[in-house]
Chain A
Amino acid sequence: MTISVLIIDGPLGPPPPSVVAQGAGALCTFEGFVRPTEGAIPIEALNYQAYQPMAQTMLERLANDMKAKHGVMRIFMQHSRGRVAVGQCSFRLVVASRHRQEALAALDEFINCMKRDVPIWKNPVYILLPADR
């Protein structure tokens, strides 16, 4: 399968053993992790919410578009849904191609389009300080 798009409950586990496509000369991986602050306010986690099935459909469409536009060989994507604690992985995009340029371009454009259009939201879970309790 040249395209794989998965929305997974909770944090993402380790990357799969290999998503290298036959004949690929480049494999670019981007992983996103939950930062300890949101707008400078400490958080303990992010709760990701996806509007399904629209999010899945749009991610698959985006992957197909990027594969066609940049001529890459393989796109593998995972995105979390639900609670992901600080420091845990919530997004992974792996692109395989013959040369690095097309993989890097596809990876960058995929993320930009996803952040603009795909109906997924992150809701911060703020750390309650003693004064807030």
Chain B
Amino acid sequence: MDVRVLLFGPQAAAAGCETISVSLPPGATCADLRGVLGDKLPVLLPSLKESRIALNSEFAADSTRIGAGDEVALIGLVSGG
């Protein structure tokens, strides 16, 4: 299953891109995605632990499975205000 992950803010700047495509096995969870992102973009490793995953604009637990067609976003430390 190919998933496109949205990146924002400092993480997008560090990665040099605002989206990244990753390949996940069927039934993969947000925790699995976190691992794949760390492998594919080591520059994000320091910030991955404190980041959250959003599926379809809602925060998702690490145990949540990612479905085909989900909008997936990596939400690093936010800094609004």
Contact = CB atoms under 8 A, between A and B. Distances in A.
Contact of B10 (A48, A50, A119, A121): A121
Nearest to A121: B9
Interface residues of B, number: 16
A50 to B, nearest CB: 8
A114 B54 contact: no
Contacts, number: 57
Given A49-B8, A51-B73, A54-B73, A120 B79 contact: yes
Nearest to B77: A121
B46 interface: no
B58 to A, nearest CB: 8
B8 A121 contact: yes
B81 A119 contact: no
A122 B9 CA distance: 7
Nearest to B75: A119
Given A49-B8, A54-B57, A121 B73 contact: no
Contacts of B79: 115, 120-122
A64 to B, nearest CB: 16
B25 interface: no
A53 B57 contact: yes
A108 interface: no
Interface string B1-37: 0000010111001000000000000000000000000
B57 A120 contact: no
Given A51-B75, A54-B57, A54-B73, A122 B8 contact: no
Nearest to A50: B80
B80 A121 contact: yes
Interface of B: 6, 8-10, 13, 54, 57-59, 73, 75-76, 78-81
18 contacts: A48-B80, A49-B9, A51-B6, A51-B57, A51-B75, A53-B57, A54-B54, A54-B58, A79-B81, A115-B79, A117-B59, A117-B78, A119-B8, A119-B73, A120-B80, A121-B76, A121-B78, A123-B9
